[in-house]
Structure 1
Amino acid sequence: MKRIVTILILFLLFAVSVYSQKDHQKADRLYEKAEQSYGRHDFMQAFKQINEVLKEDSAYCNAYLLMGDIYYDMQKPDLAINAYTKAVAIDSALFPPAFYIMANLQFELERYPEAKRNYLTYLSFYPKNQTEIRKAERNIGLCDFRADLMKHPVPFNPVNLGPNINSEGYEYINSVSTDEELMIFTRKGTEQGANESFYRSIKNDSKWGLALPMEPPINSDGNQGALCLSPDGMFLFMTCCSRRDSYGSCDLYVSHRRGNQWSEPENLGDVVNSTAWDSQPCLSADGRTLYFVSTRRGGFGGSDIWRTTLLPDGSWDVPQNLGDVINTSSNEMAPYIHQDGRTLYFSSNGLKGMGGADLFMSRLGVNGNWSVPTNLGYPVNTKDDEINLVINAGGQSAYISSAKEGGFGNTDIYRFDLPQEVRPAPISYVKGKVYDKNDLHPLSADLELIDMQSGKVVVNSFSDAASGGFLLSLPVDKGYALNVACKGYLFYSQNFSIENGRDLNNPLMLDIPMQPVSVGEKVILHNIFFESDKFDLKAESTAELDKLTEFLQNNPLLKVEIGGHTDNVGTDQHNLDLSQNRAAAVFKYLADHGIQKERLIAKGYGKTVPVDTNDTPAGRANNRRTEFKVLSK
């Protein structure tokens, strides 16, 4: 009896096995047909055949893998992940690269914890593909980095600048003037082969006016882009490509403004430009350092950030690479050096970021080294490319070009509040007009701004010949000496301080009347200083004394009187002696620096010639002064 039962059981098992083999063989045949349909890119037929496979065998792992491949090719990542997930749930060891494929899809979808888990699972199978291993290991670190940024988002409130600025095409922010009254940007149309052109907008009543194309010679029939407006508004540095005088595919050019007219762009020459691609210029506030991007030899990667400095003779020095703290083996782009002179913003797809190209900030230390770049954070940076960024002078706001949903076109310009931790030092500015004191006509004059504490020249600029206007950006909480010189005129000097917190909408305004050189005219030397109740010249007087020396050298026929004046504090004789000794100290400095003594007279007036009341501290300070007067010419 037991034997009969055993035979019966064996028979039943054999029957089930035969039936299962036939069932599996049918599923195999259907799967082969699905693969053939997939090979012909007949995805709908392949899906139909896959469903038939799963009806025959719901645990047919390869069917889910093929389904995932089809959804992958159809660019439906969520459905592809679902299919691969079902496949590895049935048999995780059948095709371990499925974990790698899923991880890549989840990585692109910014599902970083899931991506990391699947990368680790893939690596646990000890794969042999070294390229995949390196990518998995790199992306695991990026998963942690990006997940952390997304867990701690920075404040980000981008405001679209509206239809006066943005179009259905592409807008790329280039420059915003120091006073935020002028914006220049690059626009590219949507038509095939469209060139880039420069547009400008002027702010009226806190609103940007309708952007208009810049007139020739700035815009031309060729291809130009990546423009920088100098902080004083007098120069445009721009990129022009494939011009007759180009040294490479794209070169750096400069144009000078006179009134509302710009000069023909001039190539910066073969010291700055190379036979490669040179683009994306940005000028420092002092006008002496030009940052730009180049693919020239000697860099660390595809495109690097370089800088060149202006030499005393007006030529540019050999460019220097910013080094491997800033530049990587990939691409660094779009440098923006803030007017504080030490905070650099740029874009990189080689530094650790949210994906594509991210925006970074680095500060220049007192030792001349750049700090390790700081990612501007999420959601300022996203998985897409963030490249163009411009910061306003005060450092609170930024302008960015972005392809965000809900815009007017492909890429729009937005304004947002810059996160506190990546803001530069605040900058204010001085704005004014230089003109002839007698007939009030505007003058083009040289302006030199000196940090009174360090004695260093921080800005060299000039006023516009057509309007006499000028604008100088400068750090706050410092004292400055301003010297203004114009051929045929006595030079002008002034000093002032910029307080922290000064409203950028209410800058320091200076009208500068220039006195033609004529006998009897006087100039107050505002930037000559003495120790209290002494006649020892302070070190911060040197810049003004050198300017006076230069003025006398340029006007060799002039004979001048150096006059010393005091307030009414102290005895008459003491004040007379003090003023005489102070005038003599200036006399000696000039004589020691090459001015013939026969051209100089030192005279002390004591308190006898006040220019203000002696009843207030401010009035007495104005009366304590040094002047020079033209005696003959």
Structure 2
Amino acid sequence: MARFVTDSQIHGYSIAFRPYFRSRALPLLHSFLLFLVVFISTAQKRVQKHAQKEFEAANRTLQFNPEQALKEFRQILILDSTFAPAYMRIGQLLERDLTQKGTAINFYEKAVELDSTEIAFKNLYEILGKHYLARGVYSKAVRFFQGYLKFPGTYLPHQQNIQRYLSQCLYAQKVLAVNADSTSRFSLPSPINGNDFQSYPVLTADLKTLIFTRFRGDEDLFVSQKEETGWSVPRSLSPIINTDKNEGTCSVSADGNTLVFTACHRPDGLGSCDLYISKRISQTWQLPQNLGPIINSQNWESQPGLSADGRTLYFSSDRPLGVGGKDIWVAQLDTSGVWTSPQNLGKTVNTAFDEISPFIHSNNESLFFASDGREGMGGFDVYLSKLTDIHWSVPINLGYPLNDFADQQGFYIAPDCKQAFYSYKYKLADKEDGITAGSKICYLQLPDTLAALCPRTFVLKGKVLDAEIRKPLKATLTIHNQSIPSFPLSVYATNDSTGECVVIFPNRADAFVLVESSGYYPKILRVDSATITENEEMEIALVRFHSDKSEVLKNVLFVLGSAELEAVSSGELDRLVYFLEKNKSVKLIIEGHTDDLGDSKYNELLSLDRAKKVVHYLIVNGVDSKRLRAEGFGYRKPLIHNKSEEARRLNRRVSWRVIE
């Protein structure tokens, strides 16, 4: 009992417990109850009176000797095994001994069983309800929460809290009654779950690198690689990242080269915990930088969720002007590389309680997060909200078996939306160090009902090279939507030294990849999702600007025999406008070409008119006319011999060439 404390307040009850048999205002009683009171034996009264006297003496002992008081309370039960207050006191004292918390529950239950109307036992109903809710024993939890609510005089916000717990129990019972899903979670094997506490898994897009938080006296980030035989033994991510303070709850970009993580109580910190960023160059993590006062506040910022391209950051914070306790916020990286001021996701997502561990799927529209403020199964459940235009949908509980009575958080969904990794908090046996819960990393194959809520994406790997000398290039790969070509869906970059890249491609027919590198002709990649081979490396060769080389505008089409542009041409021409806006010093010749059918002079004029039509489109859309020149070549410069209709189709074209 050396770990007992001499606090005179245990669970809010003064040690000066008022006499258990006190005078009560008696309502009209049924004759049967009166009969029982009248004929209670004198011996029983004497025992109860003696037990009350001993209870008051033990309360006095409690003030200076809790260990001795525990013995005295136990003696009272030998004297009178029905004396409910002694059960409560023994439970309170055992609960303060860190190895006896579980045993304390038995005494609390006995106390309320013996006297269900004693208002001094009110808090015991809350303790018991929470205890059984945390273990998924919903029927018992319901009984105790309902027992708590029957007492008058509860502070309204606290009453609402208890009502919330009760609602969670009733919701869970309803879910379990109809759920027939046989999907099961699996704990990742050792060495990943190598101790009592590892959590918040994140992976690179190819699912080959796992980074997670591990507690070893303080929190650090660990990394493991997927090998043929399984996961490698985890090692500290980097001495540059981990210190003797707490580092954890991170997020990583699709290519694994940008890391945002939480660090607490650092000398350069702005609040209790801040968000930091580090870049990996040539396999080495660089010195982390505090994300600064735009992102971090004097409060708590943690649990980042970085988009696959590293340009959108979600995180949890208890900063002012939120909706409730901890809320989810979002910031964007602008074109100059500066984070915008974070915006609260609002009341559709956030509640008066806590929303934590946001994860934005690589489709950039499915947001997964944990909350204890919504209809759920107890603790933190995982929810999904989808972004449509600028509005978030009402979150959906992802249901059983993913969610249950425990805390589920730190969620990661693979690009194919079929695999989930997350941390699962579980109960440990009572221990002297006071740690009563552990956390393990779990894996779940998502059922089709869940995968349908998350549009899949594809992982494309590649290397961008100079087409002539084969050297790696520093390039940008932008995912565009055909209908809004000037507004990118996401932006990726190659590794500066290797030219390697990882791109997450959406499952939509109108998307394409624009590959750009300074001094080179851009290239457009159109990807057929039906034939994609994921993780197969592509080679993307770019041609350096040359005055004798041109690029064909592949989707610029004209009405047959005229210079009238077809409507479909606007997408390709808008991309050329976009290129010229980004390369202000570039000047172009727009070249028109025909096939070999018809009169040569007519073809010369037609090809020139078509080139002029393209120049006109560019000027109307903001390009300086001094940067453009139109030329028509008729059929004098065919790409291939005009031997077939297919060859002639390819030779009828408009192209562009850089002259400065």
Q: Secondary structure at the match of 2:391?
A: coil
Provide the rounded CA distance (Å) in 2 between the counterparts of 1:33 and 1:405: 37
Alignment of 1:198-213 (within 5 A): 198-205=221-228, 207-213=230-236
Say if 1:562 and 1:583, in contact at 8 Å, map to a contact too.
yes
Provide the rounded CA distance (Å) in 1 between the counterparts of 2:459 and 2:642: 31
CA spacing shift, 1:405–1:330, aligned 2, 3 Å? closer
CA spacing shift, 1:273–1:333, aligned 2, 3 Å? same
Q: Secondary structure at the match of 2:511?
A: strand
Q: Secondary structure at the match of 1:246?
A: coil
Say if 1:567 and 1:610, in contact at 8 Å, map to a contact too.
no
Question: Residue 545 of structure 1 aligns to which amino acid in structure 2?
Answer: L
Q: Secondary structure at the match of 2:385?
A: strand
Provide the rounded CA distance (Å) in 2 between the counterparts of 1:52 and 1:245: 62
Q: Is 1:510 aligned with 2:538?
A: yes
Alignment of 1:326-365 (within 5 A): 326-365=349-388
Q: Secondary structure at the match of 2:584?
A: helix
Provide the rounded CA distance (Å) in 1 between the counterparts of 2:289 and 2:120: 56
Which of 123, 148, 153 is the equivalent residue of 1:128?
153
CA spacing shift, 1:475–1:215, aligned 2, 3 Å? same
Q: Which residue of 2 aligns with 1:449?
A: 479
Q: Which residue of 2 aligns with 1:586?
A: 614
CA spacing shift, 1:169–1:77, aligned 2, 3 Å? closer
Q: Which residue of 2 aligns with 1:112?
A: 138
Question: Residue 267 of structure 1 aligns to which amino acid in structure 2?
Answer: N
Q: Secondary structure at the match of 2:42?
A: helix
Normalised by the length of structure 1, the TM-score is: 0.81
Q: Which residue of 2 aligns with 1:63?
A: 83
Provide the rounded CA distance (Å) in 2 between the counterparts of 1:254 and 1:130: 44
CA spacing shift, 1:155–1:577, aligned 2, 3 Å? farther
Instruction: Compute the RMSD of aligned alpha carbons.
Output: 3.8
Q: Deviations over 1:196-231 (max 9, x none)?
A: 222222323483333332234333454322222123
Question: Residue 251 of structure 2 aligns to which amino acid in structure 1?
Answer: C
Provide the rounded CA distance (Å) in 2 between the counterparts of 1:231 and 1:305: 21
Q: Which residue of 1 aligns with 2:507?
A: 476
Say if 1:336 and 1:344, in contact at 8 Å, map to a contact too.
yes
- In the TM superposition, what is the alpha-carbon distance from 1:480 to its structure 2 partner? 2.6
Question: Residue 179 of structure 1 aligns to which amino acid in structure 2?
Answer: D
- In the TM superposition, what is the alpha-carbon distance from 1:413 to its structure 2 partner? 1.6
- In the TM superposition, what is the alpha-carbon distance from 1:327 to its structure 2 partner? 1.7
Provide the rounded CA distance (Å) in 2 between the counterparts of 1:314 and 1:86: 64
Provide the rounded CA distance (Å) in 2 between the counterparts of 1:476 and 1:342: 12
Percent identity for Structure 1 against Structure 2: 26
Alignment of 1:377-416 (within 5 A): 377-404=399-426, 410-416=438-444
Q: Is 1:235 aligned with 2:258?
A: yes
Question: Residue 441 of structure 2 aligns to which amino acid in structure 1?
Answer: I
Question: Residue 265 of structure 1 aligns to which amino acid in structure 2?
Answer: P
Alignment of 1:592-611 (within 5 A): 592=620, 593-596=622-625, 600-606=629-635, 609-610=638-639
Q: Which ranges of structure 1 fall in alignment gaps of 5 or more residues?
A: 1-16, 55-61
Provide the rounded CA distance (Å) in 2 between the counterparts of 1:106 and 1:516: 71
Say if 2:202 and 2:252, in contact at 8 Å, map to a contact too.
yes
Q: Is 1:627 aligned with 2:655?
A: yes
- In the TM superposition, what is the alpha-carbon distance from 1:392 to its structure 2 partner? 0.8
Provide the rounded CA distance (Å) in 2 between the counterparts of 1:562 and 1:320: 45
Say if 1:172 and 1:388, in contact at 8 Å, map to a contact too.
yes
- In the TM superposition, what is the alpha-carbon distance from 1:297 to its structure 2 partner? 1.4
Q: Which ranges of structure 2 fall in alignment gaps of 5 or more residues?
A: 1-37, 95-101, 430-436
Provide the rounded CA distance (Å) in 2 between the counterparts of 1:78 and 1:551: 68
Provide the rounded CA distance (Å) in 2 between the counterparts of 1:444 and 1:478: 28
Q: Is 1:147 aligned with 2:173?
A: yes
Q: Which residue of 2 aligns with 1:372?
A: 394
Question: Residue 238 of structure 2 aligns to which amino acid in structure 1?
Answer: E
- In the TM superposition, what is the alpha-carbon distance from 1:580 to its structure 2 partner? 4.4
CA spacing shift, 1:134–1:275, aligned 2, 3 Å? closer
Say if 1:493 and 1:527, in contact at 8 Å, map to a contact too.
no
CA spacing shift, 1:50–1:164, aligned 2, 3 Å? closer
Deviates more, 1:274-283 or 1:201-210: 201-210
Q: Is 1:430 aligned with 2:460?
A: yes
Say if 1:237 and 1:254, in contact at 8 Å, map to a contact too.
yes
Aligned residues: 590
Say if 2:458 and 2:506, in contact at 8 Å, map to a contact too.
yes
Provide the rounded CA distance (Å) in 2 between the counterparts of 1:291 and 1:312: 18
Normalised by the length of structure 2, the TM-score is: 0.78
Q: Which residue of 2 aligns with 1:58?
A: none
CA spacing shift, 1:19–1:335, aligned 2, 3 Å? closer
Q: Secondary structure at the match of 1:364?
A: strand
Q: Which residue of 1 aligns with 2:41?
A: 20
Deviates more, 1:575-584 or 1:20-29: 575-584
Q: Is 1:311 aligned with 2:370?
A: no
CA spacing shift, 1:296–1:108, aligned 2, 3 Å? same
Q: Which residue of 2 aligns with 1:418?
A: 446
CA spacing shift, 1:603–1:613, aligned 2, 3 Å? closer
Provide the rounded CA distance (Å) in 2 between the counterparts of 1:273 and 1:299: 14
Question: Residue 21 of structure 1 aligns to which amino acid in structure 2?
Answer: T
Q: Which residue of 1 aligns with 2:207?
A: 180
- In the TM superposition, what is the alpha-carbon distance from 1:139 to its structure 2 partner? 3.9
